[in-house]
Chain A
Amino acid sequence: MIKVPQKSTASCLVKPLFVVVLLGGIFAIVWLRSSILTMEYSIGELECKKMERLREAKMLLAERAMLLSMQKMEKTAVRSLGLVFPDRTRVVYVRGAGQGPLKASFEKSRYGFGDHSATEGGVSPDKER
């Protein structure tokens, strides 16, 4: 009588497991490669879109620079808004230091200010010196 050795459950599973792992590995590699390719396509498309946006952004930047040119601004300020370039004789300099809002007084007669300083009704703090 021949005695057939009894196979353990583990050894029975080795072969199918090996095949499954092998197939799974191959599938994973193919799937990974395909995902990378898909992603590369997506990135390529996004880069095209980015290029388009960049093109628009640069165009807008140039347009903004052109619109903010002194020539354009003066044209708009003078023709549309009726502004004039500040006359130095009408600018009053305020001596002061430190922070905080300034309160201009109208003691014209006491300090002998020019008419313009009183009639202007105050001074912008950014003219502070």
Chain B
Amino acid sequence: MRKRGIILNTAICFVFVIVAVRLFDIMIVNHERLYAKAKMQQLKGEDIRVRRGAIFDRHGRELAVNLELESLYCDPAGMGSPEESAEVLSSVTGKPSRAILTKLSSEGHFAWIERKLDPDTTRKVKELKLKGIGFVNDSKRYYPKGHLASQIIGFVNIDNKGIEGIELKYDGYLSSGGGKVLFSRDASGKTLSQGVEMESKGNNLVLTLDEGLQYMVEVELDRAMDQWRASAATAIMMDPFTGEMLALANRPSFNSNSISGSKNFERRNRAITDCYEPGSTFKIIVGTAALEEKVVSLDSSFDCSKGTIAIGKRVVHDAHRHGVLTFKEVIQKSSNVGSIMVGMRLGKERIYRYAKAFGFGEKTGIDLPGEVSGLIRPPERWSGVSIGSVPIGQEVAVTPLQVLRAYSAIANGGLLVTPHVVSRVVSPEGEEIWRPTQDVQRVISHRTADTFKDILKTVTEEGGTAKSASVSGNNVAGKTGTAQIIDPRTKRYSTEKFVSSFVGFVPADNPKIAMIVVVYEPKGQIYGGVVAAPVFKRIAENALSYLDVPREDSQGNMLVVAR
């Protein structure tokens, strides 16, 4: 009996010793290796969902949001029958089975099959319960307004990185840092919550754009493109006092939701990337400079009766022969001859100085990518005929935005503002974290600006070149422009291709909007007063209604009310 007890005790002790040795091996000798192995089995790393901030218009209407979708991947090493799976997946996703098969048969343990599937397809694929395929949460940028303001908002790539427009310029604010979170999982692969926030949100952008105004501008641009069978068109609407862009549109355009179907020229934001010779809209430079420098008065007269002026070997014509014109009439009737005479009185140095002061030849500083500076040559590089060209807007290259900015300076009393599209950056919690600072420079005196504003008002009145830009009930101040395009084949001004424009502000005495309309290569008509001015009128009438700006002629037409 005692012998048995000894054997039993020895056996128990032996087992304990074995267990102790094994435990020593696991916990001390091979601890590091086994700990790492266990972690690998128990923990699963999951990417933090990085979500871009949304983009809103000035009234908080969504212009860019995120959709929560799922991306389909496969583990080629764990696939059952790749051929069969490829066929089934092809019938559900609509992707060629050969392309899917290539991915299912690839090396390694991970390959994307299709990124950002729509919810219906995701559900159908999940129902198939195929071996070796899985889903990862993914977000897709979605632009609910489609074409609207697409060249301003821009777009992102498949990895949600900003590629164009605001999406690119403010990528740093919109996107946020990512990272990984480790989750514990059980033997069946089911994850256990760690109570960690798995979403990292970027900041939201509030733009200065107004969806309503943007829509009006785009509708009218489409109409103008159809009417004049133009090659392109641009319209920009801005608050002349703050530089806030209220609307900016170009045609042709594209839909930000289907980038693959768009072409490069459709994505171009012509308002800031394309230069053109401004023609008569540039006459404000010599006009305001002459008034500011007191080389002319409103009643100074200029003999334009010949209808031509010779500068060296070049002869410049007026569109119509005028008689003797006052300075005011020179601008009102857009006389080339009169403007050149004013320019000659000023001299090339002063013309250049004022052109630079109005921001020509330099970037406006708008917060959009791809802006060009345009071109105005310094006086020492002017040719003998330049004094006959620059005052009437030739030999200079400008962007539509530069022209609008210069006219805004007249509208606001002589201050050059910095145009901008983003009004503020707001954190996901709603705190404002950034706002643009306004940098203004005085270009001309308030008095000169007011005087020139009165002159510009006459342009849209009887006898002016842009009667068709006048708005019922409010005064419009503005200027037409009709510029020839250089033919790249002949290197001379084309006799068929023109750029028609109208730039102005309304109501003239207390401007709410400054706007430029540029129509490239219109067919049938060429003059800014015929092609672009009516577009301005239609947009302005709708915009004033939308902004609730009262008619100036309604003072005696008030409805009397009592309480």
Contacts and interface: CB of A to CB of B under 8 A. Distances in A.
Interface of A: 37, 40-41, 43-44, 46-47, 51, 54-55, 58-59, 61-63, 65-66, 68-71, 74, 85-89, 91-96, 98, 100-105, 107, 111-114, 117, 123, 127, 129
Contacts, number: 122
A105 B472 CA distance: 26
18 contacts: A44-B190, A44-B191, A55-B68, A59-B119, A62-B65, A65-B65, A70-B214, A71-B146, A71-B148, A88-B541, A88-B544, A92-B554, A93-B550, A93-B551, A93-B558, A95-B558, A104-B559, A127-B548
Contact of B144 (A66, A88, A127): A66
Contacts of A103: 561-563
B535 to A, nearest CB: 16
Contacts of B215: 69-71, 74
Contact of B192 (A37, A98, A102, A127): A37
Interface in B519-559: 541-542, 544-545, 548, 550-551, 554, 556-559
A34 B177 CA distance: 35
A37 B119 CA distance: 31
Contact of A94 (B137, B146, B556, B561): B561
B130 to A, nearest CB: 20
Interface string B354-375: 0000000000000000000000
A95 B542 CA distance: 22
Interface residues of B, number: 44
Contacts of A86: 545
Interface of B: 61-62, 65-69, 119, 137, 142, 144-146, 148, 184, 190-195, 198, 211-212, 214-215, 472-473, 541-542, 544-545, 548, 550-551, 554, 556-563
Contacts of B119: 55, 59
Nearest to A41: B192
Count chain A CB atoms within 10 A of each CB in B211, B544, B563 and give the residue with the most.
Answer: B563
B65 A61 contact: yes
Contacts of A100: 563
A82 B558 CA distance: 28
A120 to B, nearest CB: 9
A43 B144 contact: no
Nearest to B63: A65
B65 A40 contact: no
Nearest to B551: A88
B559 A88 contact: no
A115 to B, nearest CB: 11
A62 B559 contact: no
A51 to B, nearest CB: 7
Given A88-B545, A98-B563, A65 B62 contact: yes
